[in-house]
Amino acid sequence: MKTNAKSKLEECILSHLTPEGDLLDLEEMNISPEHLRLLCQAGESLQGVKQLYLSNNGLGDAEIETLSKSRCLPNLEKLFLNHNKIGDAGAKMLAKSRLASNMTCLMLEANHIGPEGAKAFATSPHLKNLEILFLDSNPIEAEGAEVLAKSVNLPALTALHLDSAKIGDQGVKAIAATQTLSGLKKLYLCSNKISDDGAIALAQSPNLKNLNCLSIWRNEIRDDGGKAIAESPHLPNLERLYMSFNLIDKPVRKMIRSSDLASRLKTLIMD
């Protein structure tokens, strides 16, 4: 690497590397395509990086294409790309990338990823180690939830974040019917216009018995859905339930608070 390029690498990239060399924090750094090219040419300097923060940088699909071709991050485990401008094309490139092979956490909240991007993750052969997937505030819709729920390529997934993902009852029913994501422990479904139908599907699902955290804030769940959750025999491991800002009447909320389920919970948030 030429002296000038090496100087830029140290100034723009390596100066944000922790002394241990395992975390590179480039969040809100106005990362340009040139910076990403420097990162991808860093060679052995970034071999020890396990966590990479690139949030809030306005990164689009072109920048993700550059990143996905990098060979200098062989031990990357956690990638934070939230609040960027990544679309389906970028999601597809990430799903195909060697970067994904050791990844346990992929944060993509608040991008522009739709059903096709969700499908790319669901069908990727490189995400066998992925434990946590954040797709909040991406319009993956019911179609995206359905392909994720049927995926056989996410065997390690324990936490699925789909707040504000426009999945509706149809997407929630697909997740409730999953035969492949039975290892889920945390499920986040806030602000998805879920009605009683979706809540009842969750309550009646034997496939989500390992959940210890369920978040269904800001939906359209009424009394029947609230009762179904409270009386479900399929949530034996649930410890945290977040269900404020729904349409459940006060008498039913009182019933939920006095239910056997509530007595087992460590946290119950309900207005």
The answer to whether residue 82 scores a pLDDT higher than 70 is yes
Q: Residues 27-36, buried b or exposed e (16+ Cβ, 10 A)?
A: bebebeeebb
Query: What number is the average pLDDT over the span 130-149?
Result: 98
Which letter, b or e, does each residue of 105-117 get, where b requires 16 or more Cβ atoms within 10 Å of its Cβ?
A: bbbbbbbbbbbbb
The pLDDT value given to residue 4: 53
The candidate with the shortest Cα–Cα distance to 268, out of 217, 207, 206, is 217
pLDDT of residue 12: 81
- Answer whether residue 84 shows pLDDT above 70: yes
Considering the entire predicted model, what is its pTM? 0.96
Q: Say whether pLDDT at 62 is over 60.
A: yes
pLDDT over 60 (residue 45): yes
**What pLDDT does residue 6 have?**
57
Do the beta carbons of residue 124 and residue 100 sit within 8 Å?
yes
Name the one residue in this structure whose structure tokens are 């509706």.
Answer: 168
Q: Which two tokens stand for residue 80?
A: 């934070």
Tell me the percentage of the chain whose pLDDT exceeds 90. 87
CA proximity to 180, closest of 163, 203, 161, 160: 160
> What gap in Å lies between CA 107 and CA 134, rounded to an integer?
5
Q: What is the pLDDT of residue 3?
A: 47
Q: How far apart are CA 169 and CA 194, in angstroms?
A: 5
Burial of 180 (0-12, 13-18, 19+ CB in 10 A): middle
